[in-house]
Amino acid sequence: MLAGPLAFLRNPPRSLAFLLSCFLLLFSGGGASTCILVAILDAKIEFTIPKGSQGERLDLAFVAATKGISRSRAQNWIRQGRVEVDGEVVERPGYHVRVEQRVSLRAEVVQEVLEEGTAPTLELLYEDADLLVVDKPAGLLTHANRAGGRSVSSLLEESHGPLPEGSEPLRGGIVHRLDRDTSGALVIARTAAALESLLTAFRDRRVQKTYEGIVAGAPRFDSDWIETPLGRSPKHPDRQSVLTEGKGREALTYWEVIERFEGFAHLRLVPKTGRTHQLRVHLSSVGLPILADSIYRARGGHPARLPESAPEFNRHALHASELRFPHPTTGAEVGFEAPRPRDMVRALEWLRSECPAR
């Protein structure tokens, strides 16, 4: 586990002045050891734009010059106002540099904690020259927010190189997104042309997304449509809510029962529109809140939970199980499936055993 980080410390990137402190802590629990490495870095970086980088984006020129800093890290530093070009602060990673411009950075203390078994990993379901399809784990952002941090986008840039950003900052290759705690299939564009083609396919509703969810409650029917419009909540601006006709955006969700249990149900979910938090809001609005959703809750204000004797479930029970779309180069429909994650498998096994349908 420590080979990679220690190699980095033994061979730091060129032009970095390190003030380094490392602490190795060993814990033992259940026969497994956990190692935490803390590195404190004080970096001073300076370089001059060479002829080969004329007109290049600042973040890409930064990566090329430092030979060791990831693009996502460079973008975060730039947006935080830590990078100067010819003595002037530049906060746009897409700023086009010129030959002989002087770039400098003073990075304040940066702390990295690497813990065995918790580093985010991505399972690659498919890749070609145009796109990547991954099985996103729950707990990982699709793309970085203003605070930075690991994301699907940053991890893929580290492993596969720069991804096209389009008009959205911090979203290299991102065509659509899954909430942090939603797992499952996610497609990433590798070229600008593929990004535009896939964005168009999503906009024109030529993409079919299928999800699985575990909900609390007893569905009245075996299948149904939810067609209520959605928009920003007037009480909680950071959330979505069902709005009256004419005040929200069209939102269409089809659902059908896969399996029933006493007090719960396993559903197949097909959104026909792509509104923020659509499935979570729609299901909560019809009295079928998704298990363990801390925001869109059961009526009465409490998150839907399994009984205490059930396996622990620490995120909302929503998984993007299948994704189908026209390939950006060939136009042929392609489809990919992400296997059901272990926490949902365990929850369903427990429900079959302890809460069988009557």
Question: Distances in Å between the alpha carbon of 193 and those of 177, 190, 205, 243, 256?
Answer: 19, 9, 18, 36, 36
Structure tokens belonging to residue 220: 């009245």
Which candidate in 59, 135, 179, 181 is catalytic?
Answer: 179
222 given a catalytic annotation: no
As a whole number of angstroms, the distance between CA 213 and CA 321 comes to 10
Structure tokens belonging to residue 338: 């992400």
Structure tokens belonging to residue 143: 């793309």
As a whole number of angstroms, the distance between CA 303 and CA 291 comes to 7
Asked if 209 contacts 323 with a C-beta cutoff of 8 angstroms, the reply is yes
Q: Which residue has the tokens 């809460």?
A: 355
Structure tokens belonging to residue 51: 């002829």
Which active-site residues does the annotation give? 179
